[in-house]
Amino acid sequence: MTEKNVVTAIRDALHDEMDNDERIVLLGEDVGARGGVFRISAGWMEEFGERRVIDTPLAESGIVGVAIGMALHGLLPIAEIQFADFIHPAFDQVVSEAARLRYRSNGDFGVPMVIRTPCGGGIHGALYHSQSIEAFYAHIPGLKVVMPSTPADAAGLLRSAIKDPDPVLFLEHKKTYRAIKGDVPDGAYLTPIGSADVKREGDDLTCVSYGYSLHTCLDAAARLSEDEGTSVEVVDVRTLAPLDVETIVASVRKTSKAMVVYEDNRTYGAGAEIASTIAEQALFDLDAPIVRIGGPDIPAMPFAGPLEHFFMEPEPDQIYARMRELART
Amino acid sequence: MTEKNVVTAIRDALHDEMDNDERIVLLGEDVGARGGVFRISAGWMEEFGERRVIDTPLAESGIVGVAIGMALHGLLPIAEIQFADFIHPAFDQVVSEAARLRYRSNGDFGVPMVIRTPCGGGIHGALYHSQSIEAFYAHIPGLKVVMPSTPADAAGLLRSAIKDPDPVLFLEHKKTYRAIKGDVPDGAYLTPIGSADVKREGDDLTCVSYGYSLHTCLDAAARLSEDEGTSVEVVDVRTLAPLDVETIVASVRKTSKAMVVYEDNRTYGAGAEIASTIAEQALFDLDAPIVRIGGPDIPAMPFAGPLEHFFMEPEPDQIYARMRELART
Amino acid sequence: MSTRVAETPHGALGLSADDLLAMYELLLTSRLLDEAALRQNRMGRAPFVVPAAGHEGCQIGTAWAMRRGSDIWLPYYRDLGVVLTAGMTPYEVFLGVFAKADDPSSGGRQMPAHWGSRRLSIISGSSPIATQVPHAAGIAYAVKYREEDAVVGCWFGDGATSEGDWHEGLNFSGIHRLPVIFVCENNQYAISVPQSKQMAVQDVASRAEGYGFPGVVVDGNDVLACYGAMKEAHERARAGDGPTLIECKTYRFLPHTSDDDDKSYRTREEVEEAKGKDPLVRFGDYLREHDVLDDAIHEELQASKKREIDDAIQAAWDAPDPDPDSALRHVFQEEGS
Amino acid sequence: MSTRVAETPHGALGLSADDLLAMYELLLTSRLLDEAALRQNRMGRAPFVVPAAGHEGCQIGTAWAMRRGSDIWLPYYRDLGVVLTAGMTPYEVFLGVFAKADDPSSGGRQMPAHWGSRRLSIISGSSPIATQVPHAAGIAYAVKYREEDAVVGCWFGDGATSEGDWHEGLNFSGIHRLPVIFVCENNQYAISVPQSKQMAVQDVASRAEGYGFPGVVVDGNDVLACYGAMKEAHERARAGDGPTLIECKTYRFLPHTSDDDDKSYRTREEVEEAKGKDPLVRFGDYLREHDVLDDAIHEELQASKKREIDDAIQAAWDAPDPDPDSALRHVFQEEGS
Ligand SMILES: Cc1ncc(C[n+]2csc(CCOP(=O)(O)OP(=O)(O)O)c2C)c(N)n1
Ligand SMILES: Cc1ncc(C[n+]2csc(CCOP(=O)(O)OP(=O)(O)O)c2C)c(N)n1
Ligand SMILES: [Mg+2]
Ligand SMILES: [Mg+2]
């Protein structure tokens, strides 16, 4: 066990994997000399050589498209998109190519690749360095979408993503990078893709979340149990696609109350799938309507402090408040 | 009143609008000499001139990006994407530009444009001429997403889309083009964006759908009332974004049973938002769990007849069967 | 002045009479397959076919310089001649036309002419235009990384050159001097859009300079010219000198696909004039001039090919359809595979 | 031989002494604003700033050929000098730096340096690189469609040229011979990625030929050369002769943004050498040679500009922040607006 923050956990896991497998190459904008804008690959161009740590031209569709080609010919590319907001030009390469190659070739051509990208807001990133993109990508059959919220999960899920025979979109919430610390087991353990995790046990209500919001929920849950002895179970989705329905539904069946919390724009966000799955499978177990909290339906987060704060928290301490309210109904 | 099929209704409305407003230009692949692959603009290059009916290079991001520029400088561009499956290269121009320009400029720059594109399957289009794309686009704040299912709605909504001061994605289900006929009022009437429509009144259960699926639902509802006197209310969503929550919830409150039907891949599809909205707002009105029917989570529709049919109808007459089942619970 | 036997054009390219015959056989097979597939479509047995007629010269001319086994092929949908040269059989082609379970490209999942074959190193292609261009660059990068003696061939039409992916793929290939050859089959139309509305230049090849590698223009109806250009590009690639962009001026004799009607955008005169330059006829004449072909050989070849194709059609037609719920398979790698 | 007074370089370009002084004032203002913004960042009053230092020569040199009022501007984030030339004031710039409600670009919604202004016909720009290139083409199409006497200026860095949108935008502009000028401020890096890893060519301008219009390379530190190239391109555009791609060789003196540290990817020697070619100094020297500037004028100008900037900072700092729930506004056009 070693205490690390999320970005260090990711860096260490990535470094070990590159050390152990010559087939792995890293490609993206500024991943070389600059070591990435978050310094994850600092020094690696010297360590692993320019052929394994590739500074690409400024062209996201090309980055993903080239990575697909590499994956088709024996390499294990890890494509870094500098900010999730800039993955959109590569949407076609992800939807039409990476996610469809195995299917369209009837199983003949697999694309073992990982796309890593920092997402999420609350770091003064404004409209184009704050976006949540999981809802777009979780809806693509053939693509796995992972979003860890703790250092241990980040390392374990990243290793699983690299070993996965199919394309995996690996989402890293920027605000967890340094803010979230935790014990990380030593050794090359794997955290399975497709399994949610109960981060806090409880009986009075189930709160389902992921990414940075999960920590806001955990914090609210802790305060609520101190303040009023309410016991909230907090489920970390961890993998958006494929979604671990069993774990989520089992928790709701136990607590009979559900809330779903996510940072992304509320409407048609990932929380809609989670909430409606609960409604379909656990309707008669519910003692109260499902509470769904998502971000306002405005284009990502404005830059000015007051505006950004409004996005993250339209009402003061809203998650705590809604949790408390739901527990009481 | 004139009876028309969907494609004719669209062509006539589009033609009249172009006739009445010099600012409207049509741009896309093969819209000129070829008149579009569905012949909607056949002869228009001669009629309106090459400057208004523009055959573009094969470049969707460019088509949308150029249209944005036109809209920023006094024109009303209607960009045609030949098939919805090919809009993905333009995803960034839609998400980051068309849908964000007004917001990011604090209201200074609006983008009045329409993107028309034929979507949906069941026409032997295989993996890349059959996709449903509404779930990706309905999740973009700043973009309106419309999907008519009848000739009258198609004409009325298209006119509203053209007059809308903001970008509108206008989705045309290919299978409705010729298969669906109906009376179309004469004159330049407008069908409001953002309002759903009860296409069939009923008391026993509410079936919410859109696009071609709506007709499968209407057909099933008709047979069910004949066979067993069950009265199903069928709501046509018509506009995915902004979603008309009032009409949908009101119907469910009345019937106490809800099913949501859509052709797109089920998981994280548009039906998830509709179902979870019902669960949040009408939970205690529900006598049965919400039934959600979507397409299988495979990359669009395979080409071979048996495979395509499996996608559209995994079980024989499944919508009728599930409707009947829900009515009986 | 030294006295040496005047070398023939094909001799100068290192092609033997047998090579020429084998190439001719491929052109003929492609043309006959094309006609047969269209007949199947007219008979209502094939909902969708993509004609290649007119492109055979540049397809087979360029493809002939590739090596089966070691090289990697990224054709586009019109490349019947390329995949035949790569080793696909008429039977396999018709398994695709009829969307049968054993279709090597996709098991009937994709439209016909969306080529793919693990066995032949033909990378599965999709409908979206130009997406294979960055793939070709990535594969070529992997070839170089693994120090393999392989060359990547990537074919596309003039329309593809307008896509951002085309630009990004060529640029990356130039930067890393990758062993890849880009072949543009310029038939002057993207469906109905004429070249003049696709680009403001005469030659797509003129763009290569901006990516730091050579661009070559060849007459797509001249099989040997296409082969020569590809051969040189292939040598450059193997020598580590990087990519080449080869533009073949060609023409599509038939509509874009069986769904298209080209009368609205091409005059019959234009089409007829192009047919007058038929690469199959021209190559046949060349072979006759050099006593490699005569009517007897041609007739026999044609007859045997027709038989082979008729048998292929029958066998493919009788082959099993995909099992409906196999539609759920291969979204992800399956356990134990 | 006719006897005529030798014409000065600026005279030959039709620039008067007053013009030169006005241009110099802009270069100086840009440089001083840059330094002031960076100080605000160091003081913790501005979370994010984008330096322009080093680019002033090509930004103001090219922008000076544009006409306020009639022409349309699509700058990118580094273009402080361009927007100053377009008419943005230091006060407006700092309203953006401090993300205030009255920031003309976005009301504090975007990061600083994401320029926009209806009043000045500066089209709102975003962070995603090169997306404005097709917009410029579309605006130019509308200009031509509406038969207006306007020219569209579109600025971007070397990094932008790798994006598909750049290719698609230039291609469309060439096909329709649109009144648009593309200016590449080639500072040889996309953040840390050197030109050699962005493209296999020396000159971005070499790509213009592939789009059917001229590409010009100029020394970005030579204000008059930049102006001259832009002036000619502007005349071509107005004459209906279509687009021009102008590549200005320049250099960024400071890190990419206040968040960047350039030591890992640029040697100090390289940076110092570039600073030795400072366009501001060079232009100042030129003015002195032609008796347009002397120390007295310079000192006075500098002093007054500093005062103006200090006042602007103070006023902008005191201006109101955006109202929190205004965050919900302008997603769509509002009723009655
Ligand atoms: C991204 C994308 N946009 C549009 C289409 C529709 N489409 C199919 S083929 C074609 C024209 C291609 O022309 P070209 O590249 O010249 O090849 P050719 O058919 O002439 O051989 C178009 C527009 C597509 N398949 N993919
Ligand atoms: C689509 C996209 N990808 C990545 C980024 C991150 N990014 C911001 S600026 C930049 C480099 C731009 O370099 P260049 O175009 O040369 O302009 P310069 O900063 O050198 O003036 C990058 C990669 C972005 N903003 N947009
Ligand atoms: Mg073509
Ligand atoms: Mg640069």
Q: How confident is the model at residue D5 (pLDDT cuts 50, 70, 90)?
A: low
| % of chain B at pLDDT higher than 70 | 100
Q: Is the Cβ of C193 closer than 8 Å to some Cβ of chain D? A: no
Residue among D78, D110, D129 whose CB has most ligand 2 atoms within 8 A, to mutate: D129
What does the pLDDT read at residue A316? 86
Q: How much of chain B is helix, strand and coil, in % rounded to 5?
A: 45, 20, 35
What does the pLDDT read at residue C1? 43
Tell me which H or E stretch contains B233: strand B232-236
Question: Which candidate, B120, B295, B265, B302, places its Cα nearest to that of C321?
Answer: B302
What does the pLDDT read at residue D337? 64
Q: Is the Cβ of D162 closer than 8 Å to some Cβ of chain A? A: yes
pLDDT at B232 over 70: yes
Q: Is the CB of C157 inside a 6 Å radius of any atom of ligand 1? A: yes
pLDDT at D1 over 50: no
Ligand 1: centre distance to CA A47 (Å): 44
What does the pLDDT read at residue B300? 86
The 3-state DSSP class for residue B241 equals strand
Question: Which candidate, C150, C146, C74, places its Cα nearest to that of A75?
Answer: C146
Structure tokens at A37: 């804008």
Q: Is the Cβ of C336 closer than 8 Å to some Cβ of chain A? A: no
Angle, CA D17 vertex, CA D12 and CA D19 arms, to 5° = 85
What does the pLDDT read at residue C336? 74
Q: Is the CB of D198 inside a 6 Å radius of any atom of ligand 2? A: no
**Beta-strand pair A144-146/A239-241:** antiparallel
pLDDT at A314 over 90: no
What does the pLDDT read at residue D87? 98
Burial class of residue A326 (count of CB atoms within 10 Å of its CB; 0-12, 13-18, 19+): buried
What does the pLDDT read at residue D4? 58
Q: Is the Cβ of C109 closer than 8 Å to some Cβ of chain B? A: yes
- Options C141, C167, C265, C288, the catalytic residue: C265
Taking the whole predicted model, whether its pTM rises above 0.90 is answered as yes
* pLDDT, chain A, mean: 97
Q: Which amino acid is at B114?
A: V
Lowest mean pLDDT among A272-281, C2-11, C249-258, D234-243: C2-11
Averaged over A67-93, what is the pLDDT? 98
Express each pLDDT in C78-124 by its tens digit. Answer: 999 999 999 999 999 999 999 999 999 999 999 999 999 999 999 99
pLDDT at D102 over 50: yes
Q: How confident is the model at residue D335 (pLDDT cuts 50, 70, 90)?
A: confident
Enumerate the β-bridge partners of residue C182.
C154, C245
Instruction: Give the integer Cα–Cα distance in Å for D160 and D165.
Output: 9
Q: Is the CB of C78 inside a 6 Å radius of any atom of ligand 1? A: yes
Q: Is the peptide bond before B165 cis (omega within 30 degrees of 0)?
A: no
List of chains touching C (3+ CB pairs within 8 A): A, B, D
- Residue C256 annotated in active site: yes
pLDDT at C132 over 50: yes
Cα-Cα-Cα-Cα dihedral sign, residues B213, C112, C106, C102 = positive
Closest approach of A269 to chain B, Cα-based (Å): 7
Residue among C129, C248, C253 whose CB has most ligand 1 atoms within 8 A, to mutate: C129
Instruction: Give the integer Cα–Cα distance in Å for B8 and B147.
Output: 16
Instruction: Give the integer Cα–Cα distance in Å for A195 and B324.
Output: 35
Instruction: Give the integer Cα–Cα distance in Å for B157 and A234.
Output: 44
Q: Rounded to 5 degrees, what are φ and ψ at B172?
A: -115, 115
Protein residue whose Cα sits closest to atom 1 of ligand 1: C128
Ligand 4: centre distance to CA D193 (Å): 8
**Separation in Å, CA B8 to CA A261, B82, B155, C65:** 45, 17, 9, 50
Ligand 4: centre distance to CA D160 (Å): 8
Residues of B in contact with A278 (CB under 8 A): 279
Q: Is the CB of C253 inside a 6 Å radius of any atom of ligand 1? A: no
Contact between C156 and C133 (Cβ < 8 Å): yes
**Measured between CB atoms, which of D106, D323, D327 is closest to A298?**
D327
What does the pLDDT read at residue D110? 98
What does the pLDDT read at residue C330? 98
The 3-state DSSP class for residue A158 equals helix
Residues of D in contact with B69 (CB under 8 A): 134-142
Ligand 1: centre distance to CA C190 (Å): 6
Measured from the CA of C156, which atom of ligand 1 is nearest?
A: 15
- Helix spans in chain A (H): 6-20, 44-48, 60-72, 91-92, 101-104, 134-138, 151-163, 174-179, 211-228, 245-255, 270-282, 305-312, 318-328
Express each pLDDT in B269-328 by its tens digit. Answer: 999 999 999 999 998 899 999 999 999 999 989 999 999 999 998 888 999 999 999 999
Contact between D90 and D29 (Cβ < 8 Å): yes
pLDDT at C54 over 80: yes
Express each pLDDT in A124-169 by its tens digit. Answer: 999 999 999 999 999 999 999 999 999 999 999 999 999 999 999 9
Residues of D in contact with B77 (CB under 8 A): 138
What does the pLDDT read at residue C337? 64
The 3-state DSSP class for residue A178 equals helix
What does the pLDDT read at residue A148? 98
Instruction: Give the integer Cα–Cα distance in Å for B102 and B110.
Output: 5
Q: What is the DSSP letter of D307?
A: H
Averaged over D32-57, what is the pLDDT? 97
pLDDT at C30 over 90: yes
What does the pLDDT read at residue C335? 84
> Is there a contact between C110 and B126 if contact means CB atoms under 8 Å apart?
yes
Q: Is the Cβ of C62 closer than 8 Å to some Cβ of chain B? A: no
pLDDT at A204 over 70: yes
E strand segments, chain C: 72-74, 152-157, 180-186, 189-190, 193-194, 215-219, 244-249
* pLDDT, chain B, mean: 97
Residues with CB under 5 A from ligand 4 (ion): D 157-158, 187, 189
Residues recorded for chain A = 329
Reported ipTM exceeds the 0.90 cut:
yes
Residue among A64, A86, A130 whose CB has most ligand 2 atoms within 8 A, to mutate: A86
pLDDT at C3 over 60: no
> Is there a contact between A68 and C107 if contact means CB atoms under 8 Å apart?
no
Q: Is the Cβ of A303 closer than 8 Å to some Cβ of chain B? A: no
Mark A80-91 as b/e (b = at least 16 C-beta within 10 Å). Answer: bbbbbbbbbbbb
Q: Which ligand is nearest to the CA of B83?
A: 1
What does the pLDDT read at residue C4? 58
The 3-state DSSP class for residue A143 equals coil
Express each pLDDT in D248-277 by its tens digit. Answer: 999 999 999 999 999 999 999 999 999 999
Enumerate the active-site residues of B. Answer: 129
Enumerate the active-site residues of D. Answer: 252, 256, 265
Averaged over C27-39, what is the pLDDT? 98
Angle, CA B99 vertex, CA B98 and CA B103 arms, to 5° = 110
